[in-house]
Chain A
Amino acid sequence: MVDVNLWSTFVAPFSEYAFMRSALVACMALAVASGPLGTLLLLRRMGLVGDVLSHAVMPGAAVGFAFAGSALAVLSIGGLITGIAVVLLMILGTRFGAQREDASLAAFYFASIGVGVLIVSLRGTNLDLMHVLLGTVLAIDVPALALIVAIASVVIAVLALIFRPLAIQSFDPAFLRTMGGSDSTYRAIFLVLVVLDLVAGFQAFGTLLAGVPLLLPAAAARCWAQRIGPLVGVSIGFGAAAGYAGLLVSYHLNVPSGPAIACAAALIYAVSALVSASRMLVTALNATKPT
């Protein structure tokens, strides 16, 4: 009896409904690609950049929507174009250094949301706007799933090739350069990978939440792991767990799934941060205790 309940609570939603399975597979693929990317992003202290790039996808996706309705391929290509355009602007901006990076990032952030929302509103309904902003993970069909899995595979393959230089660059870029590595090339490749990952996450999570699988699991992993390998592994695990838990909650409580997954990821992060804070507190108390 208990077994039947467990089954119907935790497994049946996925075994009975193809759209739940697709959503779950999409979340897993995103978690696998986002774990290492997010870990490197945070080690480079570029969390804000990840956030900004997730919004940079929006204007292009909005233009795609205006021309082609909700055809995912068109939305994705549009998002990819504006995302990469923003990456280029960021690289040029740091090269010529007219502005401090965080100032220009803030400008990109707000401009992207503003332009994107305007374009979608001109052509679509409020519901369309909600879909672009928050995603429709339960509407992922087989072509969309193929796109997400393909992007995730490309991200993982490229990361595997350049993981060492990316890791070194994130803490000692001068060393990489004296060894003949090109700083700006690796930086550009990395940012393009981030954009690709965000484009893959766009259908599931929308532009507002596309950064969730990228940033939250990696941030939570830092409370549990010290070494870079375990950091990546724990990030992937947390990302997958948040996807699974969020989908279950959205199924049983009939709430939107993207936000539910975001809440699950945020909860994992909150618990991790609390555990690590209390661990530090215990260490501090032990240190002050007279021996």
Chain B
Amino acid sequence: MVSYRKDRRHETAEQMSEPSNRDATGRRLGEIRRPCVTLRGLTVGYRERVAIEAVSGVFAAGSLTAIVGVNGAGKTTLLHAIAGLIAPRQGSVEIAGTETPADLAYLPQSDSIDRDFPISVLEFAALGGWARIGALGRVPPELRSRGLSALQAVGLEQVAGRMLGDLSMGQFRRALFARVIVQDAAIVLLDEPFAGVDAATSEDLLRLMQRWHGEGRTVMVALHDLEQVLAIFPETVLLARKAIAWGETATALMPEKLVEAGLAAPSSGAGPRLRLAMPS
């Protein structure tokens, strides 16, 4: 695990020192992209309902991928399957290059967390260190400073001592990002991280997400805003129970694909920003 992490750090430093040596998608030119997360015929269901069916594809190491689709298209299910929160009914999820649970960070939709739980904002962010401490391990003293600097990175250093329940929705989303920062994972899954927050928060969080991408982490984001997807995400998975399209964003979001995914009305031909699904 240590050598693996050092590798990534090394890569990060190299990328930062050679910013010109990259193509438009933020990838280093000539880099052979190792597969990172591979889905083979992944089918996942809840009771009688099949949520995603026969999805196959590869999230390359260091890629930044948007997962889009209408509500109920299976975006959250796909992330849950990759995070190991739900077992596949058929097919498989293979994750290369991670050795401990700490290497995969999952940022859930906010309503899956009971925000009234008595925990301070700093403690919540520090939970990101859980995988290296566990139920019985000693809490290392530097975790506190790591938590604080993560809170600083998301602009919450002023409220570090407050209770989680006192935060606004936007602040709570920032706290979730801080926890991901502390976790320092190679793979980051974000489930609708920008839903229901104001423009300033959304912008800050996008910047953080792009920084993770720049650091060479593999980032997958379920989201609704197609304009954001077109502007920022090099790659896109278009879901409607099955993967309608998977690849470069401009190609994946072709009008006829959007129609097939139910994200655009068939009659009009005005391009990819047609009828945006309402954020849940």
| Residues of A participating in the B interface, judged by any CB pair closer than 8 Å | 43, 45, 97, 161-165, 167-168, 170-172, 174-175, 177-181, 226-228, 231
By a CB distance below 8 angstroms, the chain A residues around B118 are 43, 226-228, 231
For residue A114, give the distance in angstroms from its CB to the closest CB of chain B.
32
Chain B 106-160 residues near chain A, CB threshold 8 A = 106, 108, 112-120, 127, 130-131, 134-136
Decide if B19 is an interface residue (CB 8 Å cutoff). no
By a CB distance below 8 angstroms, the chain A residues around B102 are 179
For residue A166, give the distance in angstroms from its CB to the closest CB of chain B.
9
Instruction: A114 to B115: give the CA distance in the assembly, Å.
Output: 38
Q: Are A172 and B112 in touch, CB under 8 angstroms?
A: yes
For residue B183, give the distance in angstroms from its CB to the closest CB of chain A.
9
Chain B 87-110 residues near chain A, CB threshold 8 A = 100-102, 104-106, 108
Q: Are B117 and A179 in touch, CB under 8 angstroms?
A: no
By a CB distance below 8 angstroms, the chain B residues around A168 are 127, 130
Q: Are A180 and B112 in touch, CB under 8 angstroms?
A: no
Instruction: A174 to B189: give the CA distance in the assembly, Å.
Output: 13
- Closest chain B residue, CB of each to CB of A39: B118
Decide if B84 is an interface residue (CB 8 Å cutoff). yes
Instruction: A181 to B108: give the CA distance in the assembly, Å.
Output: 17
Decide if B47 is an interface residue (CB 8 Å cutoff). yes
Q: Are B114 and A177 in touch, CB under 8 angstroms?
A: no
By a CB distance below 8 angstroms, the chain A residues around B85 are 174, 177-178
For residue B210, give the distance in angstroms from its CB to the closest CB of chain A.
23
By a CB distance below 8 angstroms, the chain A residues around B114 are 45, 170-172
If A43-B118, A171-B114, A172-B112 touch, whether A180 touches B101 (CB-CB below 8 Å) is yes
By a CB distance below 8 angstroms, the chain A residues around B119 are 171, 228
Decide if B230 is an interface residue (CB 8 Å cutoff). no
If A43-B118, A172-B112, A174-B85 touch, whether A180 touches B135 (CB-CB below 8 Å) is no
By a CB distance below 8 angstroms, the chain B residues around A178 are 83-85, 101, 104-106
